[in-house]
Amino acid sequence: MSQLAKSATIDSEAASALDPGAIDDVPEIAAPRRTPVRQIVVIALLVAGLIWAVRYAGHMLTHAETDDAYITGYVHQVTPHLGGTVAEVLVEQNQNVKAGDVLFRLDPRDHQAKVDQATAQLAQSDALIAYAHAQIADAAAKIDQSQAQYTKAESDFQRVQELAKTKVVSKQEFDSAKAAFDSAKANLVSTKASAQAMSSALLVAQAQRQNSQSSLDNAKLQLSYNTITAPASGHTSKRSAEVGAYVQPGQALIAVVEPDVWIEANFKETQLAKMRAGQTAEITVDALPGREFTGTVESFSPASGAQFAMLPADNATGNFTKVVQRVPVKIRMDAESIRGFEERLRPGLSTVVSVRLK
C-alpha cells in the first residue's frame, strides 16, 4: 500500500472518530488498470511460445538428435620396436609433422656392432665359397688328368693282355701293366669323389652365406629401429621421453593425431528406424558456441556399444532389466562447412548432432 493510501486511511479513521459523516467526504483511490502495451507484450510472448513449440515439435518429428556424440580421428601411438637409450629428440609436443619425419633416435652402438659382426661373417662365407669354387676347379683338372692316365693304362693293359696270349711278353710285364691300370682306375675314382666332396662343400658354404646374409639383414633392420619416425602426417601430442631415458619396446613416446576427423554419434536404438546412410546432419560443437556445421551419415556400427565393452552384460543371469542400447553412427563433416576451423576440431570434443530423417 502506498504512503498516500496509508495517510488517507489514517485521516479517514481519525475523521470518523470525530465525525461519523466525515468519512463520506474522503475520495476513493482508483484501482490500477492494465495498459494496452502490457497486453500486447503478453500476447506476443504467448504467440512466440506457441510458434517455438510448433517448430520444436516439427523438428523432433523430422530429426533424430543426440548429445552423446564426440569428434574422433586416427591417433597413432609412436612406440619403439626395441629397448634402448634415447640419444636424440627431434620433435616437440603440439607440432605438425609429416609421415617419415624423424622423431627420436636411440643409441645405435649395440646394433651397429651386430651389423659389423654379421658383415664379417658374410665376408667369411664369401671367402669359403670362393675357396670351394677353386677346389672344384682343381678337382676337375685332376679328373681330366686321372682320366687320361686311366685311358693310357687301359690301352697298355689291353695290348699287354693280347701279347700275353702269344707268350710275347713276360709274366712280370703283364703284372706291371695290370697294376698300372688298376692304379689309374682307383686314382680316377678318388679324384671324382674329391670333386663330389668339393661340390658338397660349396653347397654348405652357400647355405652358410645365406644364413650370414639373413643375419646381416636382421642386424640392419634392428639398427634401423633406432631411428623412430612419424607413422603418419598430423599433430603431435604430449611427449613422454627425453634424452638419456631408457625406453622399452611398446612404450608410448608420443602420439600423432591425423587432421582427418569425423563424428561418432551414439544414437538410441529407437532413433534408428528411419536413419539411413547419406542423410544430412546438423552439428554443433561445445567448444565453438554459435557455430553450426553440416555433415553426412556415413556408416553404422555393426553392433551396439555394449557388445564392445570389456565386460558385456549377461542378460541371462535372471535379473534382466531392459536398457535402451546405443549404436555408434559415423558422421563425416562437410569440408566446406569446417573450412577455417580444421585446427580447432580436435578428437574428444563434445558435440550435439541432429540428423534429418527423410
- The DSSP bridge partners found for residue 65 are 354
What whole-number distance in Å separates Cα of residue 107 and Cα of residue 87? 5
The string of DSSP letters for 153-179 reads HHHHHHHHHHHHHTT-S-HHHHHHHHH
Domain formed by 64-82+255-356, architecture: Beta Barrel (2.40)
pLDDT of 193: 77
Sign of torsion over alpha carbons 10, 16, 22, 27: positive
Q: What are 346's three cell numbers? A: 580436435
pLDDT of 169: 67
Instruction: Identify the band that residue 113 occupies on the pLDDT scale cut at 50, 70 and 90.
Output: very high
Residues in Cβ contact with 324 at an 8 Å cutoff, skipping those fewer than 6 apart: 268, 269, 270
Share above pLDDT 90 across residues of the chain, in percent, rounded to a whole number: 48
What whole-number distance in Å separates Cα of residue 13 and Cα of residue 19? 10
Q: At CA 300, angle to CA 295 and CA 301, rounded to 5?
A: 135
pLDDT (tens digit, 9 = 90+) per residue, 334-355? 999 999 998 899 999 999 999 9
Q: Are 87 and 243 in contact (CB under 8 A)?
A: yes
Q: What are 177's three cell numbers? A: 701293366
Q: What is the length of the chain?
A: 358
pLDDT of 262: 95
Name the H helices within the chain. Answer: 3-18, 36-62, 109-165, 171-224
What whole-number distance in Å separates Cα of residue 351 and Cα of residue 286? 6
Instruction: Identify the band that residue 66 occupies on the pLDDT scale cut at 50, 70 and 90.
Output: very high
Q: For residue 174, count other CB atoms closer than 10 A to its CB.
A: 15
pLDDT of 131: 84
What whole-number distance in Å separates Cα of residue 343 and Cα of residue 287? 12
What whole-number distance in Å separates Cα of residue 163 and Cα of residue 24? 187
Query: What is the b/e burial string over 265-286, where b = at least 16 CB atoms within 10 angstroms of the residue's CB?
Result: bbbeeebbeebeeebebbbbbe
pLDDT (tens digit, 9 = 90+) per residue, 228-263? 999 999 999 889 999 999 999 999 999 999 999 999
The string of DSSP letters for 74-138 reads EEEEE--SS-EEEEEE---TT-EE-TT-EEEEE--HHHHHHHHHHHHHHHHHHHHHHHHHHHHHH
Task: Please report where in the chains the cell 685311358 appears, as a residue.
Answer: 151
What is the domain partition of the chain in residue ranges? Answer: 3-48, 64-82+255-356, 109-225
What whole-number distance in Å separates Cα of residue 358 and Cα of residue 356? 6
The string of DSSP letters for 13-27 reads HHHHHH-GGGGGGSP
pLDDT of 224: 94
What whole-number distance in Å separates Cα of residue 64 and Cα of residue 267? 8
pLDDT (tens digit, 9 = 90+) per residue, 186-222? 777 777 777 777 788 788 888 888 999 999 999 999 9
Element (H, E) at 228: strand 227-229
Mean pLDDT for the stretch of residues 152-161: 70
Task: Please report where in the chains the cell 620433435 appears, as a residue.
Answer: 91
pTM over 0.85: no
Does 177 score more than 50 pLDDT?
Answer: yes
Does 21 score more than 70 pLDDT?
Answer: no
What whole-number distance in Å separates Cα of residue 207 and Cα of residue 20? 137
pLDDT of 192: 76
Q: For residue 292, count other CB atoms closer than 10 A to its CB.
A: 12
Instruction: Identify the band that residue 18 occupies on the pLDDT scale cut at 50, 70 and 90.
Output: very low
